[in-house]
Structure 1
Amino acid sequence: MGRLAVSLGLSSVLLAGCSSSGNQSNQQVRDLQATVAALQKQLAQSTTSTTPLTVASSTVAGQSATATASAPRGQSTPTPASTTPQPFAPAVDGDVTVLANGYGLPGTTGYDTAVAFRVKNPSSQAGILRMPCRVTVSSGPDVIFASDGRDAVTLRPGESHVVVYETTAIKGTKPTAASVQFYPAPSMYVDGKGLSDTTKWDVANSRVTCDKSFIQCNVTADLTWKGDAPQRNVSISVVTHQAGDNSGPIVGAGNGQPDYSFQQITTGQTVPVQVSTFGYVQNGPTGGLTLPSGPLTLEIYVASEPVTP
Protein backbone atom coordinates (compact mmCIF):
# COMPACT_ATOMS: atom_id res chain seq x y z
CA MET A 1 0.00 0.00 0.00
CA GLY A 2 2.86 2.40 0.69
CA ARG A 3 4.32 1.92 -2.79
CA LEU A 4 0.92 2.48 -4.49
CA ALA A 5 0.37 5.74 -2.62
CA VAL A 6 3.76 7.06 -3.73
CA SER A 7 3.11 6.16 -7.41
CA LEU A 8 -0.28 7.86 -7.47
CA GLY A 9 1.22 10.93 -5.92
CA LEU A 10 3.82 11.23 -8.69
CA SER A 11 1.15 10.86 -11.41
CA SER A 12 -0.98 13.60 -9.90
CA VAL A 13 1.92 16.03 -9.62
CA LEU A 14 3.16 15.48 -13.17
CA LEU A 15 -0.27 15.62 -14.81
CA ALA A 16 -1.19 18.72 -12.89
CA GLY A 17 1.47 20.62 -14.88
CA CYS A 18 -0.38 20.12 -18.21
CA SER A 19 -2.24 23.26 -19.37
CA SER A 20 -2.08 23.11 -23.26
CA SER A 21 -4.84 21.81 -25.57
CA GLY A 22 -5.11 20.09 -28.98
CA ASN A 23 -2.57 17.78 -30.56
CA GLN A 24 0.29 19.46 -28.79
CA SER A 25 -1.52 19.05 -25.51
CA ASN A 26 -2.33 15.41 -26.28
CA GLN A 27 1.28 14.75 -27.22
CA GLN A 28 2.44 16.38 -24.01
CA VAL A 29 0.02 14.25 -22.06
CA ARG A 30 1.28 11.10 -23.80
CA ASP A 31 4.87 12.16 -23.14
CA LEU A 32 4.09 12.84 -19.52
CA GLN A 33 2.27 9.53 -19.18
CA ALA A 34 5.29 7.75 -20.63
CA THR A 35 7.50 9.61 -18.19
CA VAL A 36 5.22 8.64 -15.31
CA ALA A 37 5.26 5.00 -16.43
CA ALA A 38 9.06 5.07 -16.59
CA LEU A 39 9.26 6.64 -13.14
CA GLN A 40 6.83 4.06 -11.75
CA LYS A 41 8.93 1.25 -13.19
CA GLN A 42 12.11 2.78 -11.79
CA LEU A 43 10.45 3.28 -8.41
CA ALA A 44 9.24 -0.32 -8.34
CA GLN A 45 12.75 -1.57 -9.08
CA SER A 46 14.44 0.65 -6.52
CA THR A 47 11.96 0.16 -3.68
CA THR A 48 13.34 -2.46 -1.29
CA SER A 49 11.04 -4.66 0.75
CA THR A 50 12.01 -5.96 4.16
CA THR A 51 11.97 -9.52 5.41
CA PRO A 52 11.80 -10.18 9.17
CA LEU A 53 14.75 -12.16 10.53
CA THR A 54 14.51 -13.96 13.85
CA VAL A 55 17.59 -13.95 16.08
CA ALA A 56 17.80 -17.11 18.16
CA SER A 57 17.19 -16.88 21.90
CA SER A 58 20.41 -16.40 23.85
CA THR A 59 21.36 -16.50 27.50
CA VAL A 60 23.73 -14.09 29.24
CA ALA A 61 24.58 -14.70 32.89
CA GLY A 62 21.24 -16.32 33.58
CA GLN A 63 19.16 -13.76 31.68
CA SER A 64 17.39 -14.84 28.50
CA ALA A 65 16.22 -12.62 25.67
CA THR A 66 14.73 -13.13 22.20
CA ALA A 67 15.14 -10.37 19.60
CA THR A 68 13.50 -9.84 16.19
CA ALA A 69 15.25 -7.67 13.60
CA SER A 70 14.53 -6.60 10.00
CA ALA A 71 17.13 -6.55 7.25
CA PRO A 72 16.67 -5.39 3.61
CA ARG A 73 16.21 -8.22 1.14
CA GLY A 74 19.43 -8.99 -0.67
CA GLN A 75 21.60 -7.39 2.02
CA SER A 76 23.60 -9.23 4.66
CA THR A 77 22.42 -9.14 8.28
CA PRO A 78 24.91 -7.49 10.67
CA THR A 79 26.44 -9.92 13.14
CA PRO A 80 24.78 -9.37 16.56
CA ALA A 81 26.88 -8.33 19.53
CA SER A 82 28.45 -11.19 21.43
CA THR A 83 26.15 -12.81 23.97
CA THR A 84 28.76 -15.18 25.36
CA PRO A 85 28.35 -15.63 29.14
CA GLN A 86 31.13 -14.55 31.49
CA PRO A 87 33.91 -17.13 30.96
CA PHE A 88 34.10 -17.99 34.65
CA ALA A 89 30.45 -17.58 35.64
CA PRO A 90 29.40 -20.21 38.19
CA ALA A 91 26.76 -22.73 37.23
CA VAL A 92 24.37 -25.03 39.03
CA ASP A 93 25.85 -28.51 38.85
CA GLY A 94 23.02 -31.05 38.82
CA ASP A 95 19.46 -30.81 40.08
CA VAL A 96 17.89 -28.22 42.36
CA THR A 97 16.04 -29.87 45.28
CA VAL A 98 13.14 -28.27 47.15
CA LEU A 99 12.23 -29.49 50.64
CA ALA A 100 9.18 -28.11 52.45
CA ASN A 101 7.71 -28.87 55.86
CA GLY A 102 4.13 -27.69 56.29
CA TYR A 103 2.74 -26.32 59.55
CA GLY A 104 -0.66 -25.00 60.52
CA LEU A 105 -1.53 -21.31 60.51
CA PRO A 106 -4.92 -19.64 61.04
CA GLY A 107 -6.79 -20.29 57.82
CA THR A 108 -3.78 -21.50 55.83
CA THR A 109 -0.57 -23.57 55.85
CA GLY A 110 2.97 -22.26 56.17
CA TYR A 111 5.98 -24.00 54.64
CA ASP A 112 9.49 -24.02 56.08
CA THR A 113 11.43 -24.40 52.84
CA ALA A 114 15.00 -25.30 51.95
CA VAL A 115 16.40 -25.18 48.41
CA ALA A 116 19.55 -27.27 47.96
CA PHE A 117 21.85 -27.30 44.94
CA ARG A 118 25.48 -27.68 43.98
CA VAL A 119 27.39 -24.76 42.47
CA LYS A 120 30.59 -25.09 40.44
CA ASN A 121 33.33 -22.69 39.38
CA PRO A 122 34.43 -23.83 35.90
CA SER A 123 37.68 -21.84 36.03
CA SER A 124 40.89 -23.49 37.18
CA GLN A 125 42.56 -20.11 37.70
CA ALA A 126 40.14 -17.41 38.91
CA GLY A 127 38.26 -17.47 42.19
CA ILE A 128 34.77 -16.04 42.70
CA LEU A 129 34.18 -13.74 45.67
CA ARG A 130 30.67 -13.02 47.00
CA MET A 131 28.75 -13.29 43.73
CA PRO A 132 25.05 -12.52 44.34
CA CYS A 133 22.41 -15.07 43.44
CA ARG A 134 18.62 -15.19 43.46
CA VAL A 135 16.49 -18.25 44.24
CA THR A 136 13.04 -18.40 42.65
CA VAL A 137 10.55 -20.92 44.02
CA SER A 138 7.51 -22.15 42.11
CA SER A 139 4.52 -24.42 42.48
CA GLY A 140 3.64 -25.90 39.13
CA PRO A 141 3.75 -23.07 36.55
CA ASP A 142 3.35 -20.31 39.17
CA VAL A 143 6.18 -18.44 40.88
CA ILE A 144 5.31 -18.17 44.58
CA PHE A 145 8.53 -16.70 46.00
CA ALA A 146 11.74 -14.97 44.90
CA SER A 147 14.64 -14.09 47.19
CA ASP A 148 16.02 -10.54 47.35
CA GLY A 149 19.25 -11.47 45.55
CA ARG A 150 21.49 -10.57 48.49
CA ASP A 151 22.72 -14.10 49.08
CA ALA A 152 26.14 -14.76 47.57
CA VAL A 153 28.50 -17.60 46.70
CA THR A 154 32.29 -17.75 47.00
CA LEU A 155 34.29 -20.43 45.19
CA ARG A 156 37.94 -21.24 44.84
CA PRO A 157 39.22 -22.10 41.33
CA GLY A 158 37.60 -25.33 40.16
CA GLU A 159 35.63 -25.72 43.39
CA SER A 160 32.19 -27.35 43.59
CA HIS A 161 30.14 -27.37 46.77
CA VAL A 162 26.60 -27.57 48.10
CA VAL A 163 24.52 -24.45 48.78
CA VAL A 164 21.36 -24.31 50.87
CA TYR A 165 18.88 -21.44 50.78
CA GLU A 166 16.21 -21.28 53.49
CA THR A 167 12.96 -19.32 53.77
CA THR A 168 9.91 -19.35 56.04
CA ALA A 169 8.02 -16.78 53.94
CA ILE A 170 5.99 -19.22 51.80
CA LYS A 171 2.38 -19.66 52.84
CA GLY A 172 -0.73 -21.18 51.29
CA THR A 173 0.87 -23.09 48.41
CA LYS A 174 3.36 -25.93 48.73
CA PRO A 175 6.57 -25.30 46.73
CA THR A 176 7.54 -27.97 44.22
CA ALA A 177 10.49 -26.57 42.22
CA ALA A 178 13.12 -23.83 42.20
CA SER A 179 15.68 -22.15 39.96
CA VAL A 180 18.87 -20.21 40.66
CA GLN A 181 20.28 -17.14 38.88
CA PHE A 182 23.76 -15.64 39.38
CA TYR A 183 24.79 -12.00 38.85
CA PRO A 184 28.46 -11.84 37.79
CA ALA A 185 30.59 -8.70 37.62
CA PRO A 186 34.30 -8.31 36.75
CA SER A 187 35.17 -7.17 40.29
CA MET A 188 34.00 -10.53 41.68
CA TYR A 189 36.72 -12.53 39.91
CA VAL A 190 39.76 -12.67 42.17
CA ASP A 191 43.05 -14.45 42.63
CA GLY A 192 42.10 -17.79 44.14
CA LYS A 193 45.13 -17.72 46.43
CA GLY A 194 43.45 -15.06 48.55
CA LEU A 195 40.44 -17.27 49.37
CA SER A 196 40.29 -19.67 52.31
CA ASP A 197 41.07 -23.28 51.49
CA THR A 198 37.86 -24.97 52.61
CA THR A 199 39.51 -28.39 52.41
CA LYS A 200 41.41 -27.42 55.58
CA TRP A 201 38.25 -27.84 57.65
CA ASP A 202 37.96 -31.20 59.37
CA VAL A 203 34.43 -32.41 60.20
CA ALA A 204 34.06 -35.12 62.84
CA ASN A 205 31.36 -36.74 64.98
CA SER A 206 28.57 -35.79 62.57
CA ARG A 207 25.16 -37.30 63.26
CA VAL A 208 21.44 -36.79 62.63
CA THR A 209 18.94 -36.82 65.49
CA CYS A 210 15.20 -36.62 64.91
CA ASP A 211 12.12 -36.55 67.10
CA LYS A 212 8.95 -37.76 65.42
CA SER A 213 6.94 -35.08 67.20
CA PHE A 214 8.82 -32.33 65.32
CA ILE A 215 9.12 -31.53 61.63
CA GLN A 216 12.84 -30.81 61.79
CA CYS A 217 15.89 -32.96 62.41
CA ASN A 218 19.14 -31.69 63.91
CA VAL A 219 22.62 -32.32 62.55
CA THR A 220 25.50 -32.00 65.02
CA ALA A 221 29.22 -32.07 64.29
CA ASP A 222 32.63 -30.86 65.48
CA LEU A 223 34.65 -28.53 63.22
CA THR A 224 38.44 -28.20 63.41
CA TRP A 225 40.44 -25.65 61.43
CA LYS A 226 43.73 -27.11 60.16
CA GLY A 227 44.83 -24.20 58.01
CA ASP A 228 47.32 -21.46 58.86
CA ALA A 229 45.52 -18.10 59.08
CA PRO A 230 42.76 -17.68 61.71
CA GLN A 231 39.22 -17.80 60.30
CA ARG A 232 36.06 -15.74 60.82
CA ASN A 233 32.47 -15.67 59.48
CA VAL A 234 32.30 -19.46 59.64
CA SER A 235 29.12 -21.03 58.24
CA ILE A 236 28.02 -24.58 57.52
CA SER A 237 25.66 -26.00 54.88
CA VAL A 238 24.31 -29.52 55.29
CA VAL A 239 22.43 -31.86 52.97
CA THR A 240 21.36 -35.37 53.89
CA HIS A 241 21.19 -38.11 51.27
CA GLN A 242 18.93 -41.12 51.69
CA ALA A 243 21.60 -43.63 50.74
CA GLY A 244 24.95 -44.98 51.83
CA ASP A 245 26.74 -42.24 49.87
CA ASN A 246 26.14 -38.87 48.17
CA SER A 247 24.41 -40.45 45.17
CA GLY A 248 21.05 -40.83 46.89
CA PRO A 249 18.19 -38.30 46.86
CA ILE A 250 18.41 -35.31 49.19
CA VAL A 251 15.89 -35.66 52.02
CA GLY A 252 17.13 -32.93 54.37
CA ALA A 253 18.99 -29.61 54.16
CA GLY A 254 19.85 -26.61 56.30
CA ASN A 255 22.37 -23.93 57.31
CA GLY A 256 24.06 -23.03 60.57
CA GLN A 257 27.12 -21.50 62.21
CA PRO A 258 29.12 -21.91 65.40
CA ASP A 259 28.01 -20.10 68.52
CA TYR A 260 28.56 -16.34 68.42
CA SER A 261 31.27 -16.68 71.07
CA PHE A 262 33.53 -18.25 68.41
CA GLN A 263 34.10 -15.09 66.40
CA GLN A 264 37.63 -16.13 65.47
CA ILE A 265 38.87 -19.71 65.08
CA THR A 266 42.59 -20.39 65.17
CA THR A 267 44.67 -23.27 63.84
CA GLY A 268 43.87 -26.54 65.62
CA GLN A 269 40.81 -25.14 67.40
CA THR A 270 37.67 -27.34 67.50
CA VAL A 271 34.16 -25.89 67.79
CA PRO A 272 30.75 -27.61 68.05
CA VAL A 273 27.92 -26.83 65.61
CA GLN A 274 24.25 -27.76 65.37
CA VAL A 275 22.10 -27.28 62.27
CA SER A 276 18.31 -27.55 62.22
CA THR A 277 17.38 -28.94 58.82
CA PHE A 278 14.19 -28.94 56.75
CA GLY A 279 12.88 -32.08 55.11
CA TYR A 280 13.07 -35.68 56.35
CA VAL A 281 9.37 -35.98 57.16
CA GLN A 282 7.67 -38.02 54.45
CA ASN A 283 4.21 -39.41 53.78
CA GLY A 284 3.89 -42.87 55.27
CA PRO A 285 2.10 -45.85 53.65
CA THR A 286 -1.07 -45.13 55.65
CA GLY A 287 -1.06 -41.40 54.91
CA GLY A 288 0.63 -40.33 58.14
CA LEU A 289 4.08 -38.76 58.48
CA THR A 290 7.19 -40.83 58.98
CA LEU A 291 10.95 -40.40 58.91
CA PRO A 292 12.95 -41.85 56.00
CA SER A 293 14.19 -45.38 56.46
CA GLY A 294 17.54 -46.85 55.50
CA PRO A 295 21.02 -45.33 55.74
CA LEU A 296 21.51 -41.56 55.70
CA THR A 297 24.68 -39.85 54.45
CA LEU A 298 25.62 -36.31 55.46
CA GLU A 299 27.32 -33.93 53.04
CA ILE A 300 28.73 -30.93 54.91
CA TYR A 301 30.35 -27.81 53.47
CA VAL A 302 32.14 -25.33 55.73
CA ALA A 303 32.81 -21.78 54.49
CA SER A 304 34.94 -19.12 56.18
CA GLU A 305 37.07 -16.05 55.56
CA PRO A 306 40.64 -15.38 56.69
CA VAL A 307 41.12 -12.85 59.46
CA THR A 308 42.80 -9.79 57.98
CA PRO A 309 45.06 -7.52 60.07
Structure 2
Amino acid sequence: MTTRIEDRFASLKAEGRPALVTFLMAGDPDGETAFEIMKALPEAGADLIELGMPFSDPMADGPAVQKAGRRALQAGETLTKTLATVKRFREGDAKTPVILMGYFNPIYIYGVDRFVADARENGVDGLIVVDLPPEMDDELCLPAVEAGLNFIRLATPTTDEKRLPAVLRNTSGFVYYVSITGITGTAAPDAGKVSAAVARIKDKTDLPVCIGFGVRTAEQARALGRHAEGVVVGSALVGAIEDSLVDGRAAPGTPNAILSVVRDLAAGVRASRLADA
Protein backbone atom coordinates (compact mmCIF):
# COMPACT_ATOMS: atom_id res chain seq x y z
CA MET A 1 0.00 0.00 0.00
CA THR A 2 1.31 3.43 -0.90
CA THR A 3 1.35 6.39 1.45
CA ARG A 4 -0.34 9.76 0.91
CA ILE A 5 3.09 11.25 0.25
CA GLU A 6 3.87 8.71 -2.45
CA ASP A 7 0.40 9.14 -3.98
CA ARG A 8 0.75 12.91 -4.06
CA PHE A 9 4.11 12.85 -5.84
CA ALA A 10 2.79 10.31 -8.34
CA SER A 11 -0.18 12.58 -9.04
CA LEU A 12 2.04 15.65 -9.47
CA LYS A 13 4.39 13.74 -11.76
CA ALA A 14 1.39 12.95 -13.96
CA GLU A 15 0.56 16.69 -13.99
CA GLY A 16 4.15 17.50 -14.91
CA ARG A 17 4.81 19.93 -12.10
CA PRO A 18 6.66 20.06 -8.78
CA ALA A 19 5.08 20.24 -5.34
CA LEU A 20 4.80 23.20 -3.04
CA VAL A 21 5.63 21.98 0.46
CA THR A 22 4.65 24.50 3.14
CA PHE A 23 5.94 24.63 6.71
CA LEU A 24 3.79 25.81 9.60
CA MET A 25 4.74 25.68 13.27
CA ALA A 26 2.04 23.88 15.23
CA GLY A 27 0.42 26.23 17.73
CA ASP A 28 1.81 29.44 16.22
CA PRO A 29 0.69 32.04 17.22
CA ASP A 30 -1.95 30.00 19.05
CA GLY A 31 -3.57 26.64 18.51
CA GLU A 32 -6.81 27.80 16.92
CA THR A 33 -5.21 30.28 14.52
CA ALA A 34 -2.60 27.73 13.49
CA PHE A 35 -5.33 25.20 12.76
CA GLU A 36 -7.33 27.70 10.70
CA ILE A 37 -4.22 28.40 8.62
CA MET A 38 -3.40 24.71 8.24
CA LYS A 39 -6.94 23.91 7.14
CA ALA A 40 -6.76 26.57 4.41
CA LEU A 41 -3.29 25.72 3.07
CA PRO A 42 -4.37 23.15 0.44
CA GLU A 43 -6.88 25.52 -1.16
CA ALA A 44 -4.19 28.24 -1.21
CA GLY A 45 -1.91 25.92 -3.19
CA ALA A 46 0.03 23.77 -0.71
CA ASP A 47 0.53 20.22 -1.96
CA LEU A 48 2.12 18.86 1.22
CA ILE A 49 2.17 20.32 4.72
CA GLU A 50 5.09 20.18 7.13
CA LEU A 51 3.94 20.82 10.68
CA GLY A 52 6.65 21.84 13.08
CA MET A 53 6.82 20.28 16.54
CA PRO A 54 7.85 23.16 18.83
CA PHE A 55 11.04 22.55 20.81
CA SER A 56 12.96 24.75 23.22
CA ASP A 57 16.39 24.14 21.63
CA PRO A 58 15.89 24.17 17.83
CA MET A 59 19.52 24.13 16.75
CA ALA A 60 18.91 23.91 12.98
CA ASP A 61 16.25 26.61 12.82
CA GLY A 62 16.81 30.20 11.82
CA PRO A 63 15.47 33.21 13.73
CA ALA A 64 11.98 33.22 12.19
CA VAL A 65 11.29 29.55 12.93
CA GLN A 66 12.84 29.82 16.39
CA LYS A 67 10.49 32.69 17.21
CA ALA A 68 7.54 30.69 15.89
CA GLY A 69 8.47 27.81 18.16
CA ARG A 70 8.75 30.10 21.16
CA ARG A 71 5.38 31.67 20.43
CA ALA A 72 3.82 28.23 20.17
CA LEU A 73 5.36 26.99 23.41
CA GLN A 74 4.30 30.16 25.22
CA ALA A 75 0.77 29.60 23.93
CA GLY A 76 0.80 26.14 25.48
CA GLU A 77 1.48 23.92 22.46
CA THR A 78 2.50 20.34 23.25
CA LEU A 79 3.20 17.27 21.16
CA THR A 80 -0.14 15.85 22.27
CA LYS A 81 -1.90 18.97 21.00
CA THR A 82 0.05 18.82 17.72
CA LEU A 83 -1.12 15.27 17.10
CA ALA A 84 -4.67 16.30 17.95
CA THR A 85 -4.41 19.10 15.38
CA VAL A 86 -3.53 16.57 12.67
CA LYS A 87 -6.49 14.42 13.70
CA ARG A 88 -8.76 17.46 13.49
CA PHE A 89 -7.33 18.37 10.07
CA ARG A 90 -8.06 14.85 8.84
CA GLU A 91 -11.76 15.30 9.60
CA GLY A 92 -11.96 17.64 6.62
CA ASP A 93 -9.02 16.55 4.46
CA ALA A 94 -8.19 12.91 3.82
CA LYS A 95 -5.69 13.45 1.00
CA THR A 96 -3.17 16.20 1.77
CA PRO A 97 0.02 14.66 3.19
CA VAL A 98 1.06 15.92 6.63
CA ILE A 99 4.65 15.59 7.81
CA LEU A 100 5.78 16.32 11.34
CA MET A 101 9.15 18.05 11.46
CA GLY A 102 11.30 18.70 14.48
CA TYR A 103 13.69 17.20 16.99
CA PHE A 104 13.95 13.88 18.77
CA ASN A 105 13.79 15.08 22.37
CA PRO A 106 10.01 15.71 22.53
CA ILE A 107 9.38 12.37 20.82
CA TYR A 108 11.70 10.56 23.24
CA ILE A 109 9.92 12.11 26.22
CA TYR A 110 6.51 11.24 24.73
CA GLY A 111 7.70 7.67 24.17
CA VAL A 112 8.77 6.40 20.76
CA ASP A 113 6.35 3.49 20.48
CA ARG A 114 3.46 5.58 21.74
CA PHE A 115 4.38 8.44 19.43
CA VAL A 116 4.62 6.26 16.32
CA ALA A 117 1.27 4.61 17.08
CA ASP A 118 -0.46 7.91 17.84
CA ALA A 119 1.04 9.64 14.81
CA ARG A 120 -0.22 6.90 12.55
CA GLU A 121 -3.66 6.81 14.17
CA ASN A 122 -4.12 10.58 13.98
CA GLY A 123 -3.26 10.83 10.28
CA VAL A 124 0.41 11.75 10.14
CA ASP A 125 2.11 10.55 6.95
CA GLY A 126 5.80 11.21 7.49
CA LEU A 127 8.51 12.42 9.84
CA ILE A 128 11.51 14.69 9.49
CA VAL A 129 13.66 14.55 12.62
CA VAL A 130 16.68 16.71 11.96
CA ASP A 131 18.93 15.57 14.82
CA LEU A 132 18.72 11.80 14.25
CA PRO A 133 21.55 10.62 11.96
CA PRO A 134 21.33 7.35 10.02
CA GLU A 135 23.43 5.65 12.69
CA MET A 136 20.44 6.03 15.03
CA ASP A 137 17.82 4.57 12.69
CA ASP A 138 16.86 1.96 15.28
CA GLU A 139 15.67 4.74 17.61
CA LEU A 140 12.81 6.03 15.45
CA CYS A 141 13.28 5.65 11.71
CA LEU A 142 12.82 1.89 11.49
CA PRO A 143 9.86 1.73 13.91
CA ALA A 144 8.20 4.56 11.98
CA VAL A 145 8.71 2.90 8.61
CA GLU A 146 7.44 -0.41 9.97
CA ALA A 147 4.28 1.41 11.11
CA GLY A 148 3.69 2.80 7.61
CA LEU A 149 5.13 6.28 8.06
CA ASN A 150 7.60 7.77 5.63
CA PHE A 151 10.89 8.85 7.18
CA ILE A 152 12.33 11.74 5.26
CA ARG A 153 16.02 12.45 5.50
CA LEU A 154 17.95 15.65 4.87
CA ALA A 155 20.83 15.83 2.40
CA THR A 156 23.01 18.95 2.46
CA PRO A 157 25.71 20.62 0.37
CA THR A 158 28.26 18.89 2.62
CA THR A 159 26.80 15.39 2.14
CA ASP A 160 29.57 13.80 0.08
CA GLU A 161 29.61 10.63 -2.04
CA LYS A 162 30.73 8.55 0.92
CA ARG A 163 27.95 9.79 3.19
CA LEU A 164 25.06 9.92 0.71
CA PRO A 165 24.31 6.15 0.63
CA ALA A 166 23.85 6.13 4.41
CA VAL A 167 21.52 9.13 4.21
CA LEU A 168 19.43 7.46 1.52
CA ARG A 169 19.37 3.92 2.94
CA ASN A 170 16.15 4.07 4.96
CA THR A 171 14.73 7.30 3.53
CA SER A 172 11.26 7.14 2.01
CA GLY A 173 8.63 9.54 0.69
CA PHE A 174 11.13 12.07 -0.60
CA VAL A 175 14.61 13.41 0.01
CA TYR A 176 14.79 16.90 1.50
CA TYR A 177 17.75 18.73 -0.04
CA VAL A 178 18.99 21.58 2.13
CA SER A 179 20.01 24.15 -0.47
CA ILE A 180 22.32 26.20 1.77
CA THR A 181 24.74 25.52 4.59
CA GLY A 182 23.75 26.79 8.01
CA ILE A 183 20.36 27.42 9.58
CA THR A 184 16.99 27.96 7.96
CA GLY A 185 15.95 31.21 6.33
CA THR A 186 19.30 33.03 6.46
CA ALA A 187 20.50 32.97 2.84
CA ALA A 188 19.20 32.52 -0.70
CA PRO A 189 19.98 29.33 -2.64
CA ASP A 190 22.09 29.38 -5.80
CA ALA A 191 19.99 27.64 -8.48
CA GLY A 192 23.03 26.50 -10.44
CA LYS A 193 24.70 24.83 -7.47
CA VAL A 194 21.40 23.35 -6.34
CA SER A 195 20.79 21.86 -9.78
CA ALA A 196 24.12 20.04 -9.74
CA ALA A 197 23.59 18.77 -6.20
CA VAL A 198 20.08 17.50 -6.94
CA ALA A 199 21.35 15.73 -10.06
CA ARG A 200 23.97 13.98 -7.92
CA ILE A 201 21.29 12.80 -5.49
CA LYS A 202 19.07 11.61 -8.33
CA ASP A 203 21.90 9.43 -9.59
CA LYS A 204 21.61 7.49 -6.32
CA THR A 205 17.85 7.26 -5.75
CA ASP A 206 14.50 7.16 -7.50
CA LEU A 207 12.84 9.09 -4.67
CA PRO A 208 11.49 12.59 -5.35
CA VAL A 209 13.78 15.39 -4.24
CA CYS A 210 12.45 18.57 -2.60
CA ILE A 211 14.55 21.69 -2.18
CA GLY A 212 14.28 23.77 0.97
CA PHE A 213 15.98 26.39 3.19
CA GLY A 214 16.15 29.98 1.97
CA VAL A 215 13.22 29.91 -0.50
CA ARG A 216 11.24 33.12 -0.04
CA THR A 217 9.80 34.33 -3.33
CA ALA A 218 7.69 33.02 -6.18
CA GLU A 219 10.62 33.67 -8.52
CA GLN A 220 12.92 31.49 -6.42
CA ALA A 221 10.29 28.79 -6.20
CA ARG A 222 9.85 28.86 -9.97
CA ALA A 223 13.61 28.64 -10.60
CA LEU A 224 14.21 25.82 -8.14
CA GLY A 225 11.11 23.94 -9.23
CA ARG A 226 12.80 23.30 -12.56
CA HIS A 227 15.34 21.07 -10.85
CA ALA A 228 13.36 18.96 -8.39
CA GLU A 229 10.01 17.40 -7.58
CA GLY A 230 9.24 19.92 -4.88
CA VAL A 231 10.07 23.23 -3.24
CA VAL A 232 9.83 23.68 0.54
CA VAL A 233 9.04 27.08 2.08
CA GLY A 234 9.06 27.74 5.80
CA SER A 235 10.76 30.87 7.12
CA ALA A 236 8.91 33.16 4.71
CA LEU A 237 5.60 31.80 5.94
CA VAL A 238 6.23 31.94 9.68
CA GLY A 239 7.76 35.38 9.09
CA ALA A 240 4.51 36.51 7.51
CA ILE A 241 2.66 35.31 10.60
CA GLU A 242 5.02 37.26 12.86
CA ASP A 243 4.60 40.44 10.80
CA SER A 244 0.81 40.18 11.08
CA LEU A 245 0.66 39.98 14.86
CA VAL A 246 -0.60 42.81 17.02
CA ASP A 247 1.02 42.98 20.45
CA GLY A 248 2.21 39.43 19.90
CA ARG A 249 -1.24 38.04 19.25
CA ALA A 250 -3.13 36.94 16.17
CA ALA A 251 -5.01 39.68 14.37
CA PRO A 252 -8.03 39.28 12.05
CA GLY A 253 -5.67 39.41 9.08
CA THR A 254 -3.17 36.85 10.37
CA PRO A 255 -4.46 33.81 8.42
CA ASN A 256 -4.59 35.68 5.13
CA ALA A 257 -1.11 37.11 5.71
CA ILE A 258 0.38 33.64 5.32
CA LEU A 259 -2.16 32.35 2.79
CA SER A 260 -1.49 35.21 0.38
CA VAL A 261 2.21 34.31 0.43
CA VAL A 262 1.32 30.66 -0.19
CA ARG A 263 -0.80 31.64 -3.20
CA ASP A 264 2.09 33.59 -4.72
CA LEU A 265 4.53 30.75 -4.11
CA ALA A 266 2.10 28.22 -5.56
CA ALA A 267 1.84 30.29 -8.73
CA GLY A 268 5.62 30.31 -9.00
CA VAL A 269 5.93 26.56 -8.47
CA ARG A 270 3.18 25.81 -10.97
CA ALA A 271 4.88 28.00 -13.59
CA SER A 272 8.25 26.27 -13.26
CA ARG A 273 7.44 23.31 -15.47
CA LEU A 274 5.47 25.47 -17.92
CA ALA A 275 8.61 27.49 -18.47
CA ASP A 276 10.36 24.35 -19.69
CA ALA A 277 7.64 23.34 -22.11
Q: TM-score range by the shorter chain?
A: under 0.3
Which has the larger Rg?
1
More helix by share: 2
Q: Normalized against structure 1, the TM-score is what?
A: 0.23
Greater relative contact order (Cα < 8 A, sep 6+):
2
